[in-house]
Amino acid sequence: MTVVAVILILAAAVMLLVPAVRRRTLTPPIMRAMGRALPRMGDTERIALEAGTVWWDGDLFSGRPDWKKLLAFEKKPLSPRERAFLDGPVEELCGMVEEWKVERDGDLPAEAWRFIKEKKFFGMIIPEEYGGLGFSAIANSAVVTKISSRSVAAGVSVMVPNSLGPAELLLHYGTEEQKRHFLPRLATAEEIPCFALTGPEAGSDAASTKSRGVVCRGFYQGRDVLGMRLNWRKRYITLAPVTTLIGLAFRLHDPDHLLGDKEDLGITLALIPPHLPGIEIGKRHDPLSVPFLNGPIYGRDVFVPLDAIIGGKERAGQGWQMLMANLAAGRGISLPGLATGASQLCSRVAGAYATVREQFDMPIGRFEGIEERLATIGGLTYVMSGARVLTAAAVDAGEKPAVVSAIMKAYLTEGMRTVVNAAMDVQAGAGISKGPRNVLAHAYSAVPIGITVEGANILTRTLIIFGQGAIRCHPYVRSEMEAVAAKDLEKFDRAFFAHMGFIAGNALRCFGHALTGSRFARPSGVPGPAGEYLARLTALSAAFALVSDASMATLGGQLKRREKISGRLADALAWLYLGSATVKKFWDDGKPEADIPFLSWGCEKAIDEIESALAGVIENLPNRAAAWMLGAVIFPLGMTSAAPSDALGAKVAQALLDDREERLRLTRDIYVPPPDDPGLGRLELALDKVMAAAPAVHAVKAAVRARKLPREPEGTLLERAVQAAVIDEAALKRIREAERARDDAIQVDEFDPQQLGHRSPGEPDAERYRPESAIHPSRAR
Ligand SMILES: Cc1cc2nc3c(=O)[nH]c(=O)nc-3n(C[C@H](O)[C@H](O)[C@H](O)COP(=O)(O)OP(=O)(O)OC[C@H]3O[C@@H](n4cnc5c(N)ncnc54)[C@H](O)[C@@H]3O)c2cc1C
């Protein structure tokens, strides 16, 4: 019996370990089974998956991230010219726009538009040789962050021409002639670009566009030329109402084979002047009253020559590839910048307001309920700020990190949603009543826009992040798929069995980390809590890799439709990235002691999110045997993480309230207006005065508690405190000033109905507000 068992084990070992035997016995059926299980992929999907580069996301998929590499990764510093631009023109532009007024006028002031053009805000990504500013990604991101903290309308207006659109596409794919003609004009906003991809039928599924072009001959500027006749319906297009250069995406057909053999050439991108016959433009959408210019564009039988195609006729049909490649970097810069700017603003506003506003004779920030919100605001802002800088630095280092950019777009705009909502709760009525004093309302209105544009978040989370990550970043899946497609047995065998070793290694490490509390995963040279968090993230990276493999192995091609599973896997990957960025920020900022609560909050939040996401996958995996094994290996002692504790949250909240330096450091990227500004300026002034008066106020309260000073009559308490030498005259003055500033800061705006464009109570139909009996006394009972 024993002999038979030994023979069987040896035979199995030979089959597994000797490649020549394995490739004749085991590998062919496995390769066939994998061929059947792999999801079918269309061209557009394949192009989207292959766009961009693999960067730190590859490490997170490996189960053993190389933390030394991440911590040593140096971001490109702002150049003196970029720094001067941020401190000069950006400050000046922020000073010119007051969001409430912009909303009332439906547009930025003419002076601001002139300034934007003159200072080349539209040309940040255009190199200097083409007349632009030639800024780095980190500078572009810093400019968007700062402007958005002052005005979402101005932020979006500046952001759009510098993100996916004509300039970016021309830079990468334009012919030299196109670049020389358009880029200098785009840099100075002589041309106002828009980019029209979305149509009524094609939103998230943009590749299904019904906008059509047909290759044909026609007359253009009096000449008979080979060109395209275009028909399109586009909507939601930012800057469309004022555009002078439409970047248009459409599907190009060549039924008469004027360009070659192919009839359906595919998605094509062209630059179209809006004045051509057949183009209808100028109407507007109203995006939640956020006053940036947005509207539809229609084109009917519009004829343009072939050289309107970006990159010339050789690029006909390559539009989808061009778009996906550009999104791979752009999504990581613009909206994450806007989201971080809004979140830093919320941190400032909520911290100041919670200190200045008193209820029940206490600053509201001292109530635990408000403290919870402040902790979320401060903690998430720290995480987002770290991720913004890390991702922009990667783009500057030449990466086009498609998966990371998708994570940044979706999770930072979600972060903004959480932070803005929490800040609205802190300001309550003052956040709701719109007017020049209210700085949160505009960010609140902008949240769903950030969530929706550049790939709506649900789709990005459930379809793109893990889908693309699994194929691009996983160390073996792509090779396996390529080998299956090429029917290359040897390549498949190599990749597949290395993959098996990878799974076994991750399982062993997961089990070991769980039993030892990740003690041996700590990277050397990283002392203190940062090292502990990296050890936990290493263990979770291994767990993520294992759960990913189990999900792919047991669900195969079905995983694409199991969006609740792939969404949770996206959450785990995203928080692995955000956790990494949090530690990296702490490290690069010089490990300040005062930042430890922020580091801890960010990392504990990340660890909790990752564990919950993985546990959610395990709970819901249809193959229960696999799920049981995953649970036993990853959580043999049960789940160990917890959301950041109340005590930790309190420390983060305190930093926003009291620790002025810490609060300033957290929000260093935003625009802070002067004290006469009705919004943040007034609030900051009140905070300064309240903080300056705080020791004197405490002295008076202490004297009352010690019964050295009778509380009543309250109206003369302060004067009596001076007489009793509890405080001096200067302190009394500070308290009085603080009271006035506090009273001013908590006021909200009031308007006559006419100012709001409502019916005036003096107008006849205002009678409907009065009781029936007052209008028709006969009906009174
Ligand atoms: C203010 C604003 C400015 C814009 N600017 C521009 C611009 O300048 N140029 C431009 O071309 N476009 C622009 N857009 C369009 C924007 O990119 C689209 O709104 C976006 O792509 C979503 O399309 P949709 O609104 O039609 O939603 P839909 O595609 O109808 O989606 C509805 C919901 O379904 C979800 N969903 C769809 N498919 C899936 C799936 N397979 N799995 C899971 N969930 C799914 C989406 O996530 C979304 O939550 C703008 C939009 C707005 C609102």
Centre of ligand 1 to C-alpha 67, Å, is 36
Lowest mean pLDDT among 22-31, 339-348, 442-451: 22-31
Which residue CA neighbors atom 50 of ligand 1 most closely? 236
Ligand 1 centroid to Cα of residue 202, in Å, is 8
Other residues' Cβ atoms within 10 Å of the Cβ of residue 371:
22
- The answer to whether the CB of 617 is under 6 A from ligand 1 is no
Contacts of 564 (CB under 8 A, 6+ apart): 462, 620
C-beta neighbour count of 419 within 10 angstroms: 29
Q: What is the dihedral of CA 540, 397, 48, 341, to 10 degrees?
A: 80
CB 227 within 8 A of CB 306: yes
Question: Which residue's alpha carbon is nearest to atom 25 within ligand 1?
Answer: 203
More confident residue, 691 or 10: 691
| Mean pLDDT value across residues 108-121 | 95
Mean pLDDT estimate for the chain: 93
Please tell me if the CB atom of residue 236 comes closer than 6 angstroms to any atom of ligand 1: yes
- Over residues 76-89, the mean pLDDT reads 97
Position 12, amino acid: A
Residue whose Cα lies nearest atom 16 of ligand 1: it is 453
Q: Kindly state if the Cβ of 294 falls inside 6 Å of ligand 1.
A: yes
pLDDT tens for 366-407 read 999 999 999 999 999 999 999 999 999 999 999 999 999 999
pLDDT at 652: 97
Judged against a pLDDT cut of 80, whether residue 659 lies above it is answered with no
Q: Which of 697, 699, 756 is nearest to 361 (CA)?
A: 697
- Closest residue by CA, ligand 1 atom 14: 236
Instruction: State the pLDDT confidence band at 769, using cuts at 50, 70 and 90.
Output: low
Ligand 1 atom nearest residue 204's Cα: 29
Those residues with Cβ within 8 angstroms of residue 547's Cβ, 6 or more apart along the chain or in another chain? 569, 572, 614, 617, 618, 630, 634
196 lines ligand 1 (CB under 6 A): yes
Nearest alpha carbon, ligand 1 atom 11: 197
Q: Whose CA is nearest to atom 42 of ligand 1?
A: 459
Would you say the CB of residue 237 lies under 6 angstroms from ligand 1?
A: yes
Query: What is the structure's pLDDT at 424?
Result: 98
pLDDT of the residue at 639: 83
Q: Contact 496/476 with Cβ under 8 angstroms?
A: yes
Residue 448 near ligand 1, beta carbon < 6 Å: no
Cα 513 to Cα 416, 522, 580, 627, 646: the distances in Å are: 34, 10, 19, 19, 27
Cβ of 197 below 6 Å from ligand 1: yes
Q: How confident is the model at residue 24 (pLDDT cuts 50, 70, 90)?
A: confident
Q: Which whole-number Å values give the CA distances from 113 to 80, 155, 157, 182, in the listed order?
A: 25, 12, 10, 20
Residue with tokens 């050789």: 314
Return d(Cα 126, Cα 129) in angstroms, integer: 8
Question: Is 195 close to ligand 1, i.e. is its CB under 6 Å away?
Answer: yes
CA of 2 to the centre of ligand 1 (A): 65
pLDDT, tens digit (0-9, with 9 covering 90-100), for 230-280: 999 999 999 999 999 999 999 999 999 999 999 999 999 999 999 999 999
Residue 238 Cβ inside 6 Å of ligand 1? The answer reads yes
Q: How far apart are CA 430 and CA 269, in angstroms?
A: 46
Query: Residue 35 pLDDT more than 90?
Result: no
* Mutation probe of ligand 1 site: the residue of 452, 461, 562, 568 with most atoms within 8 A of C-beta: 452
Please tell me the distance between residue 599's alpha carbon and the centre of ligand 1 in angstroms: 34
Give the 3-state secondary structure of residue 573. Answer: helix
List, by residue number, the catalytic residues. Answer: 454
Helix %, strand %, coil % of the chain (to 5)? 65, 10, 25
147-167 pLDDT per residue, tens: 999 999 999 999 999 988 899
Most distant CA pair in the chain, distance: 110
What pLDDT, on the 0 to 100 scale, is given for residue 781?
42
Q: For the chain, what percent of residues have pLDDT higher than 70? A: 95
How far is ligand 1, taken at its centre, from the CA of residue 570, in Å? Answer: 19
Q: Does ligand 1 come within 6 angstroms of the Cβ of 465?
A: no
Cβ atoms of residues 434 and 757 within 8 Å: no
- Of the candidate ranges 105-109, 204-208, 768-772, the one whose mean pLDDT is the lowest: 768-772
**pLDDT tens profile 468-513:** 988 889 999 989 998 998 999 999 999 999 999 999 999 999 999 9
State yes or no: pLDDT of 178 exceeds 60: yes
DSSP notation for 629-657: HHHHHH-TT-----SPPHHHHHHHHHHHH
196-217 pLDDT tens trace: 999 999 999 999 999 999 999 9
Q: How far apart are CA 539 and CA 227, in angstroms?
A: 58
Confidence at residue 14, expressed as pLDDT on a 0 to 100 scale: 65
Comparison of pLDDT for 362 and 777, the residue scoring more: 362
Q: Judge contact between 529 and 601, C-beta under 8 A.
A: no
- Angstrom distance (rounded) from CA 582 to CA 389: 10
What is the pLDDT at residue 253?
A: 98
- Nearest CA to 269 among 317, 223, 236, 227? 317
* pLDDT above 90 coverage of the chain, percent: 82
Q: What is the mean pLDDT of residues 707-723?
A: 93
Alpha carbon 617 to chain centroid, angstroms: 24
Report the interhelical angle of 624-634 vs 489-516 (nearest 10°).
Answer: 50
Rounded to two decimals, the pTM is 0.94
Distance 612 CA to ligand 1 centre (A): 28
Give the containing element (helix H, strand E) for 486.
Answer: helix 477-486
Q: Which atom of ligand 1 is nearest to the CA of 454?
A: 17
Residue 409 parent element (H or E): helix 402-427
At residue 326, the pLDDT reads 86
Q: List the Cα angle 234/237/241 in 5-degree steps.
A: 105
285 C-beta closer than 6 A to ligand 1 = no
State the distance from the centre of ligand 1 to the C-alpha of 236, rounded, in angstroms.
9
Test site for ligand 1: of 44, 235, 459, 561, most ligand atoms within 8 A of the Cβ? 459
Residue 533 CB neighbour total at 10 angstroms: 25
pLDDT, average across residues 102-130: 94
**780 has a pLDDT exceeding 50:** no
Which residue's alpha carbon is nearest to atom 24 within ligand 1? 203
Q: Give buried/exposed letters for 653-677 (b at 16+ CB in 10 A, else e).
A: bbbbbebeebbebbbebbbbbeeeb
What is the pLDDT at residue 266? 96
pLDDT at 429 over 70: yes
Of 44, 163, 197, 236, the one to substitute when testing ligand 1's pocket (max ligand atoms within 8 A of C-beta) is 236
pLDDT at 57: 95
Give the position, in ligand 1's atom list, of the atom nearest the Cα of 290.
1
> Which runs of E-coded beta strand occur in 53-107?
none
Q: Three-class SS string for 590-627?
A: CCCHHHHHHHHHHHHHHHHHHHHHHHHHHHHCCCHHHH
Nearest-atom index, ligand 1, CA of 287: 1
Whole-number Å distance, alpha carbon 454 to ligand 1 midpoint, is 7
468 by Cβ neighbours in 10 Å (0-12 / 13-18 / 19+) ranks as buried
Q: The tokens 């401060």 sit on which residue?
A: 378
Model confidence over 526-565: pLDDT tens digits? 999 999 999 999 999 999 999 999 999 999 888 989 999 9
Distance 462 CA to ligand 1 centre (A): 14
d(CA 352, CA 687): 6
Asked whether the predicted pLDDT for residue 139 surpasses 90, the reply is yes
Residue 67 CA to residue 533 CA, distance in Å, equals 11
Does any ligand 1 atom lie closer than 6 A to the CB of residue 402?
no
Give tens-digit pLDDT for 36-71: 877 777 777 778 778 889 999 999 999 999 999 999
Q: What is the pLDDT of residue 419?
A: 98
Question: C-alpha 736: how far from its chain's center?
Answer: 43
Residue nearest to atom 26 of ligand 1 (CA): 203
